[in-house]
Structures are given as C-alpha cells and as structure tokens.
C-alpha cells in the first residue's frame, strides 16, 4: 500500500485552476521529486497534501486513511512533516531550542533534549546548538528547518526547495543527508536544481500548468521530449 496517495486533486482560485486533477502515489521509503516550471502548481499541490490549503476537489490518503479534511497539525501527528520554501525558524532562539520546540508535541519531555542533539548531529549542526538561529548563514538556517522536520521521525518528509540559497558544499552535504534518510522514511522533494533531483530521486513527478505532465525515473524524465520542451530546455 502506498504511504501517500493523491487522487484527482484540484485547486481553483477565482475560476483559474492552479492544480488540475492531479493523481500520484508515494511509496514507503521512496525519494520522490516534484518538478516543473514556475507557476506549475507545485507549492499549491504540496499545500493541499500537508493540509495548509483546502482542495477544490479530490482526495488525499495517508497510510490508508482519508486525511483530506484534516488540519495540518493533525497530519503532523500522523507522521507527516513539511519544511517551507521560505525559512520558518525562531531567529532569536538557539538552534537546539528551535529543534526542541518541534520535538515537544511528539515525545515525552525527558526525551526532547537527546532527540534534538541527535538530529542536529545528523544534519551537521551540533557545533551550532547554542548559537541563535538568526545568526546562522542562510544555508545553515535551511538545515535547522530540516532538523525541525526530522526530529519527530516522520514517515513522510516534504522538502520545499531545500537547496535554494545553499552553496555547493552545502548542497553536497544535503545530498548526503537525504541519502542517509532514504529507505527510513519517504521524502517528497520539490526542487529546481536538476543535479540534485537526478542524484537523489527514485521517481520524478513533473507538473506543467497545474496538470500532471509525466512520471518516471530520472532517466525517463530526462529523455522525455515533452518534459524537455516544457521544463528541461533540451537537457
């Protein structure tokens, strides 16, 4: 059974369809990339998956349960975590406290500090644990947000443009991080950096003008002429 199943999901704004009848499935432990040109509907689709946007039509099923009507915080408790395209951290709190705040709804108070330390080590930020999050570089702030998503041990981690603003060494570290999570949890990766997509994804879903254009392996996506014309520019 798929971990996440999206069935005929649509969203209209003033008669304009931002997402048009999209269906897709994400398997347990899979790294799935979601790509497409600006305005393709990626962020709107993910907003409906994580419960921040109400769909106009369609269904979201998570681990066999229809969650279409559940608010975002209820989906989080079921094992879904989402990091924003724009960083969403507590800038005037230390890094460790940011992660601890994300952990507290999911575990006993006695386990929070150890969980925060463990996940900061995973993302390579343990030496910054006492630094104010707002004093970190943008790339490190992105990693703090990923740590905040990971600390609850979600079954599905949704990452929206995680490498945006990262340096090449930081991107390389991010790839290693995702490879280390692969198989342990499903990851839905919304990403413009095609080198990252091709290196990490098991399968790729391509959106164009709000509709599903193509699904396949990275090699199949790269070879498809429709995808090349709509997005890859002949890559």
For residue 220, pLDDT over 70 is answered with: yes
* Token pair in block for residue 2: 């798929």
Residue with tokens 């432990």: 29
Query: What distance in Å separates the CA atoms of residue 137 and residue 59, rounded to the nearest whole number?
Result: 39
For residue 233, pLDDT over 60 is answered with: no
More confident residue, 7 or 85: 7
Structural domains present in the chain: 4-232 (3.40.50.300)
For residue 84, pLDDT over 80 is answered with: no
- State in Å, rounded, how far the first CA of the chain is from the last one: 34
Among 92, 71, 84, 59, residue whose Cα is nearest residue 142: 84
H-type helices in 38-108, by residue range?
42-50, 72-78, 95-103
More confident residue, 64 or 235: 64
For range 118-136, the mean pLDDT: 94
Q: According to the model, what pLDDT value does residue 234 have?
A: 44
pLDDT tens string 8-35: 999 999 989 999 999 999 999 999 999 9
Q: According to the model, what pLDDT value does residue 166 have?
A: 84
pLDDT tens string 170-203: 899 889 999 988 888 999 999 989 999 999 999 9
For range 41-56, the mean pLDDT: 95
Q: What order do you get walking across the sheet with 203-208 strand by strand?
A: 80-83, 156-160, 186-190, 31-35, 203-208, 211-216
At residue 235 the predicted structure's pLDDT band, cuts being 50, 70 and 90, is: very low
Beta-strand (E) ranges in the chain? Answer: 4-13, 16-26, 31-35, 57-62, 65-66, 80-83, 156-160, 186-190, 203-208, 211-216
Query: What distance in Å separates the CA atoms of residue 149 and residue 159, rounded to the nearest whole number?
Result: 9
For residue 134, pLDDT over 70 is answered with: yes
At residue 48 the predicted structure's pLDDT band, cuts being 50, 70 and 90, is: very high
Query: What distance in Å separates the CA atoms of residue 109 and residue 191, rounded to the nearest whole number?
Result: 35
Mean pLDDT of the chain: 91
């Amino acid at each position: 059974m798929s971990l996440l199943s999206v069935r005929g999901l649509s969203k209209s704004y003033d008669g304009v369809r931002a997402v048009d009848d999209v269906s897709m499935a994400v398997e347990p432990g899979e790294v799935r990339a979601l790509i497409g040109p600006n305005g393709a509907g990626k962020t709107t689709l993910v907003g409906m998956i994580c419960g921040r946007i109400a769909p106009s039509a369609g269904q979201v099923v998570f681990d066999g349960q229809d969650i279409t009507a559940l608010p975002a915080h209820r989906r989080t408790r079921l094992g879904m975590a989402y990091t924003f395209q724009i960083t969403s951290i507590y800038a005037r709190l230390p890094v460790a406290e940011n992660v601890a705040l994300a952990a507290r709804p999911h575990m006993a108070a006695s386990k929070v500090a150890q969980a925060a330390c463990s996940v900061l080590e995973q993302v390579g930020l343990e030496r910054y644990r006492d630094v104010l999050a707002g004093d970190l570089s943008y790339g490190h702030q992105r990693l703090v947000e990923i740590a905040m998503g990971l600390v609850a041990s979600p079954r599905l981690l949704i990452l929206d443009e995680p490498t945006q603003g990262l340096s090449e060494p930081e991107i390389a570290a991010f790839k290693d991080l995702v490879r280390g999570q692969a198989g342990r949890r499903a990851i839905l990766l919304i990403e413009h950096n095609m080198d990252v997509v091709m290196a990490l994804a098991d399968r790729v879903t391509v959106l164009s003008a709000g509709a599903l254009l193509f699904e396949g392996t990275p090699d199949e996506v790269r070879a498809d002429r429709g995808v090349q014309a709509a997005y890859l520019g002949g890559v």
